[in-house]
Amino acid sequence: PVIILLGPPGAGKGTQARMLQERHGFVQLSTGDLLRAAVAASTEAGRRAKAVMDAGGLVSDDIVISILRDRLIEPDCAGGVILDGFPRTTVQAEALDELLARSGQQINAAISLEVDDAAMVERITGRFTCAKCGEGYHERFKPTAQPGVCDTCGGTDMKRRADDTAETVVDRLAAYRAQTAPLVSYYETAGALSRVAAMGEIDEVASRLNSLVARAT
C-alpha cells in the first residue's frame, strides 16, 4: 500500500505518520527527514538543499525525486509506505505516478490534513525532537513526562529545527500554498483524495486516520 499525507507545515504529518507506522507496519518516508540527513552528512544533495530549506523554500524536484526513488526501492518499503511531505509539486506527483506504475503499485489514499493557520504557527514554534530516537514533542501539546528526557528512549538530547522560527514558517506556508496546495485537486481528480480535520487532540486525529487507512488498504 501507498498512503500520501498532504498538509501545510505543522499539520501533523510527521506525528501521524509515525503513529500509522507503528499501528499498520507501513514505513514512514519523510523527504524532510531524508533531506536533513543529507544536510547532516554533507552530501552533494545536502549541500545544495541546505540554504533553500533554511529559507523555507522547496528543494528542487530533481534532488527530492532522486532521494525518494533511492529510498523507495529499499526492501523494507515493500510492505507499504506512508509518504510524509512528498509529493509537494505537480512534477513530483507525476514522477511518483510513473515510479509506482513501473512497479505495478498504486496510491491507496492521498490524505489532506486540514488545519487553521494560527494552529500551524503554534505547533511549529513549540516543537522539539529527541536526537536519539526521533520522537517528536511539543512544549504545550505533547510535553515529555520528565523535563528534557525522552519518554520513548530516555535520551536527553532534545533538538529544534533550524527552520522552525515564526519568520520561516511564513515562507514555508507560502511555498505550500503556491506549489503544494494544487495537489489536493490533483488527487481529487484521480479519485484518491480524502480530507481529514487535523484540529483537535493528536489521538483524535490519529483515530480518524486509522479508520481511513484501514478502509483504504
The verdict on 59 binding ligand AP5 (CB under 6 A) reads yes
Residue 153 in grid coordinates = 528512549
Dihedral sign from CA coordinates of 138, 128, 119, 31: negative
Q: What type of residue is 89?
A: T
Q: In which region does residue 56 sit, left (phi positive, over 0), alpha (psi from -120 to 50) or beta (all else)? A: left
- Of the two residues 24 and 161, which places its CB atom closer to ligand AP5 in the complex? 161
Which ranges in the chain belong to alpha helices (H)?
13-24, 31-40, 44-54, 61-72, 90-102, 117-125, 166-175, 182-189, 202-216
CA distances in angstroms from 109 to 4, 51, 92, 132, listed in the order given: 6, 32, 16, 31
Is 160 among the catalytic positions? no
Please pick, from the candidates 130, 173, 183, 192, the single residue that binds Zn ion as defined by CB under 5 A. 130
Query: Would you give the binding string for Zn ion spanning residues 153-172, x where CB under 5 A is met?
Result: x-x-----------------
Radius of gyration of the chain (CA): 17
Of the candidate spans 56-64, 78-86, 151-159, 199-207, the one that interacts with Zn ion by CB under 5 A turns out to be 151-159
Choose among ligand AP5, Zn ion, none what residue 10 binds, the Cβ cut-off being 5 to 8 Å by kind. ligand AP5
14 is in an annotated binding site: yes
Q: Which of 2, 9, 45, 187 binds ligand AP5 (CB under 6 A)?
A: 9
Peptide bond preceding 143: is omega within 30 degrees of 0, i.e. cis? Answer: no
Which cell goes with 26? 507501513
- At 184, the amino acid letter reads V
Task: Indicate which of Zn ion, ligand AP5, none lies near residue 31 (CB less than 5 to 8 Å, by partner kind).
Answer: ligand AP5
Active site residue 13: yes
User: Any contact of residue 184 with ligand AP5 (CB under 6 A)?
Assistant: no
Phi, psi of 208 (to 5 degrees): -60, -45
Between 104 and 140, CB nearer to ligand AP5? 140
Contact residues for Zn ion (CB under 5 A)?
130, 132-133, 135, 150, 152-153, 155
Contact residues for ligand AP5 (CB under 6 A)?
7, 9-15, 31-32, 35, 52-53, 56-59, 64, 85-86, 88, 92, 123-124, 126-127, 136-138, 141-142, 172, 200-202, 205
